[in-house]
């Protein structure tokens, strides 16, 4: 639970899901200042209220990723705003677009089925509100698999440690387990992960734009 009351805009097509998220966030110490059922309403509400963060469904409309598109447009308008995207499934291209946004605020891209408990959800939302980047390991795995540079030559150029990290991510190991097995601390892990992103041609801006904000995993 946060020590202050961050403001939130919630966006989902379903009135029931919006109401449920609003109630949940309010009980967790967040002030829900607006809600929206579509992308344009989300952009308008967030621009008017300037919340600490937005929690939005990835789809949010007839097209596949209107919620993601709205989140990217919001980061252009208000770069410091935190964004949490909740997705039914992982699409590597859409996930990559989130992490190459022009914003400087926290980011979260989560598969709904991986958010296992209410405290787990609040942990993710709180970390994004404080400026962290939180990403499900499955998202990173899919992004690497879908990268046009993710071929045998690129994999061969990875260091032994980077190869070990990639293997553990693919195997589903959470961040804390990877750090305890291979690193002396979080910063070493974050540096290794940034180098892997660059090696696979994934979001060069992540390293430059978000330092020193931590890049962490949903674990």
Span 97-144, pLDDT tens digits: 776 676 788 888 888 887 778 888 898 899 889 887 777 667 667 766
Of 80, 111, 136, which one is at a domain's C-terminal end?
Answer: 136
Same domain, 154 and 124: no
Same domain, 116 and 46: yes
Confidence class for position 212, pLDDT limits 50, 70, 90: very low
| Residue 1 belongs to a domain | no
Same domain, 15 and 105: yes
Please state the domain count of the chain.
2
pLDDT at residue 7, as a whole number: 95
Span 149-177, pLDDT tens digits: 555 666 777 788 888 888 887 777 777 88
From residue 148, alpha-carbon distances to 114, 126, 152, 199 in Å are: 27, 33, 11, 11
Measuring CA to CA, which residue among 111, 159, 157 is closest to residue 137?
Answer: 111
Give me Rg for the CA atoms of the chain: 17
Of 120, 136, 152, which one is at a domain's C-terminal end?
Answer: 136
- Measured distance CA(204)–CA(210) in Å, rounded: 11
pLDDT at residue 169, as a whole number: 77
pLDDT at residue 151, as a whole number: 59
The answer on pLDDT for 207 being more than 80 is: no
Q: Which residue has the tokens 């990877």?
A: 178
> Which CATH number fits the domain that encloses residue 63?
3.40.50.2300
Confidence class for position 208, pLDDT limits 50, 70, 90: very low
pLDDT at residue 170, as a whole number: 72
The answer on pLDDT for 89 being more than 60 is: yes
pLDDT at residue 152, as a whole number: 64
- Measured distance CA(77)–CA(43) in Å, rounded: 9
The answer on pLDDT for 66 being more than 80 is: yes
| pTM for the whole structure | 0.73
pLDDT at residue 200, as a whole number: 64
Same domain, 123 and 20: yes
Same domain, 185 and 88: no
pLDDT at residue 215, as a whole number: 46
The answer on pLDDT for 48 being more than 90 is: yes
């Amino acid at each position: 639970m946060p020590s202050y009351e961050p403001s939130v805009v919630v966006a989902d097509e379903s009135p029931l899901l919006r109401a449920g998220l609003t109630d949940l966030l309010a009980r967790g110490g967040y002030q829900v200042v607006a809600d929206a059922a579509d992308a344009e309403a989300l952009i308008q509400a967030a621009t008017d209220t300037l919340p600490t963060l937005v929690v939005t469904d990835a789809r949010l409309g007839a097209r596949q990723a209107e919620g993601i598109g709205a989140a990217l447009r919001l980061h252009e308008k208000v770069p410091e705003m935190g964004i949490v995207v909740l997705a039914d499934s992982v699409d590597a291209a859409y996930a990559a677009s989130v992490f190459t946004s022009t914003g400087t605020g926290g980011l979260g891209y989560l598969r709904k089925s991986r958010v296992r408990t209410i405290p787990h959800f609040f942990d993710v939302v709180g970390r994004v509100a404080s400026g962290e980047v939180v990403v499900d390991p499955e998202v990173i795995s899919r992004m690497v698999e879908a990268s046009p540079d993710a071929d045998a030559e690129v994999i061969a150029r990875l260091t032994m440690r980077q190869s070990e990290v990639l293997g553990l991510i693919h195997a589903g190991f959470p961040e804390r387990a990877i750090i305890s097995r291979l690193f002396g601390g979080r910063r070493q892990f974050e540096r290794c992960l940034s180098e892997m992103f660059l090696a696979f041609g994934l979001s060069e801006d992540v390293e430059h734009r978000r330092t020193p904000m931590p890049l962490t995993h949903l674990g």
